[in-house]
Structure 1
Amino acid sequence: MRIYRNPTNKEWAEICQRPHLDITQLQATVSTVLNDVRTRGDEAVKEYEERFDHAVLSSLAVTEAEIDEAEGLVSEELKKAIKLAHANIHKFHAAQKFAGHKIESCEGVVCWQKSVAIEKVGLYIPGGTAPLFSTVLMLATPAKIAGCKEIVLCTPPNREGKVNPAILVAARTAGVSKIFKAGGVQAIGAMAYGTESVPKVFKIFGPGNQYVMAAKQQVSLGEVAIDMPAGPSEVCVLADETANAEFVAADLLSQAEHGIDSQVLLISTSEEMIQKVQDEVERQLNLLPRKEIAQKALENSRSVLVGTSEEMMALSNAYAPEHLIIQTKNYEEMAAQVINAGSVFLGQYACESAGDYASGTNHTLPTHGYATAYSGVNLDSYCRKITFQHLSEEGIRQIGPAVELMAEAEQLDAHKNAMTVRINAIKN
């Protein structure tokens, strides 16, 4: 990790840069696969599964018998952990239900909203080097609470054509409607366009590699909504002299092991703490099975020494991290100053892993600085707000003349007339 000491404003911009991914070459590949899936449906998906996932499939759909089999392959301890996580995720997201209120904006004019679930949603769950069954819980649980009628899940199979059993157990626990063996770009295309087997959905959720992200962005231009733009995973840790260096190092490495393009950032007011964390990172890194991946990610990562806690928070807000961990003695005070972050973890014991799995909050979050404008996945992600209004004759009297004047000023005569005919009707 490169160390910056009391960086200048110019260096701040450098610190906040993410690893650059040149996706110009893969865009053409992604477009070709998407067009092929749109044209040939299941046949194309199966061919790409054989080519990319090395799985020969007679059918894309996962059967109930396969899910039953998966139940027997997952330990009772892990099933209990999945149920615990699901219960906490359900409790947190159920509390986000929208309660609309009728507002009389002026006499005779009543306006209100109601929340309506998106009818069909698609969930993409990676299944490669790290099969993310926890993401099934994070995405399907709020979809079920929201009332989505069809929850479609796509995930790549292994070479034997089997889906990771923990993914299937999590899907059954969270209430997924249909599961399909499809990964990568072909899965995104199948859910965006619909095939003979895979239903077309209205919004696609879920993480993935750069091909999946490019596919989501391409289909979002005209076919289907997506949860958010996304890049590689990241964490920022704010640590003062009271922080636990072992904990901080573990938090940094837990994010670094996601992928070689992940990034971690440590900001501290203590040079001694930065050195302690560097030493701990080296020690813990050597114990990790995914050491090579984490080591590559650390090459994209930085430690920054600043003078005050205010500077720590200012730099964090400029970086707008996906995950923000605040390990300082005044973490509550600093939490009040957070402006840009996906999810925030306070104190020595709130590790990011808690939010990734079982505390109840959602781990599908904006990356690459998008926390300046996007929220993480929540119950509203699966809903639309539909607006209603009712005008009485008195409402026409109250706002009618203003509507006529404003429409006339915008030179929209038909708009003006729609109100004028009503004004004339109540005069008679």
Structure 2
Amino acid sequence: MIPSVLPTYNRAPLEFVKGEGSWLIEADGRRFLDLGSGIAVNVLGHAHPELVATLTEQARNLWHVSNLYHIPQQQKLADMLVDKTFADTVFFTNSGTESCELAVKMARKYWYEKGVPERVEIIGFEGAFHGRSSAGIAAAGSEKMTTGFGPLLPGFKHLAWSDMAALKAAIDDKTAAVILEPVQGEGGIRPMADDMLREVREICDAAGVLLILDEVQCGMGRTGRLFAHEWAGIAPDIMMVAKGIGGGFPLGAVLATEAAASGMTAGTHGSTYGGNPLGCAVGGKVMEIVSEPDFLGAVNARAGALRQKLEGLVASHPEVFEEVRGTGLMLGLKCRVSNADVVKAGYDNLVITVPAADNVIRLLPPLNITEDEIAEAVERLDAAAAAIESVSSSV
């Protein structure tokens, strides 16, 4: 008999009832160090007092009115994003998947309005994850994401990761845009090198096509800059944002230049809940905190400390771990044993990590995790690795 909750998730046997900063409390009282942050969502940890206060205050006043009316909290957050980024305009969504849908529509509508309606193809890269909608899985193109869901939405090409020669060859008179994650998350914590990101921008400029960056997972301070592409000194035409922007409240956005968004006029897109007062009030507080230079400087310091300790962990357990990957507080451990076993051993040692492709476990802690918590987390990962080695040696 099918359960009342559709069984599309392979859930761990854990039931968390409370969160405090970098900690999650299970129903039985055990305290877990959270290096997953709800998959890069809780950038300020659990129950951050300023976010709780902001949400509570807004909840007392107004929850939802729809986009038939002006929403001051939405306007404030849009102004902050425009002020802090490349963007001229913002559309608010509820998730990264919705942001992908709009990014695709926006790129195609741009060319339609320019009188070149045949420019509909969007070029992406192997290993990508852009959400689970029809456009999202077509943009990623992996067999795992697409099997059984055909016919797929047409108009997408897929290239090998970081293959610049293939990108140049793939762009033709049907190309509308290139889409990529500056750091692949689901794909195994694979950053695109800064020089390659710059080359992608140059290739797009030379061909006159749009560049869409998916910063749903790597954005909002996760890499030590507000957005990951800033390290390469480039700017996209369209950018997808979600996860961390709401600090745990469902919120997403599409940021764009005036030119890229020129086709999106009144009536061309909409969202019932997108940009609601509750989400935007919380998002505004998240932006206020995360965009501060001192906060981002602290993220980089914590990232350096965590990476150093993880390098030591890999050196101590060469039969379990192969390498450390990633940047900022978006790090991965490439495993020699099954990454599922490492995640499970972490649960047994009260530390949470997130599996990814290429046999990697993701480490995506709250951006305000303390140095003591970093040390404790690595000690727990060390115990998990030792437990795996003990089992292997006894077989």
How high is the TM-score relative to the length of structure 2? Answer: 0.30
* Greater relative contact order (CA < 8 Å, ≥ 6 in sequence): 2
The structure richer in helix per residue is 1
How high is the TM-score relative to the length of structure 1? Answer: 0.28
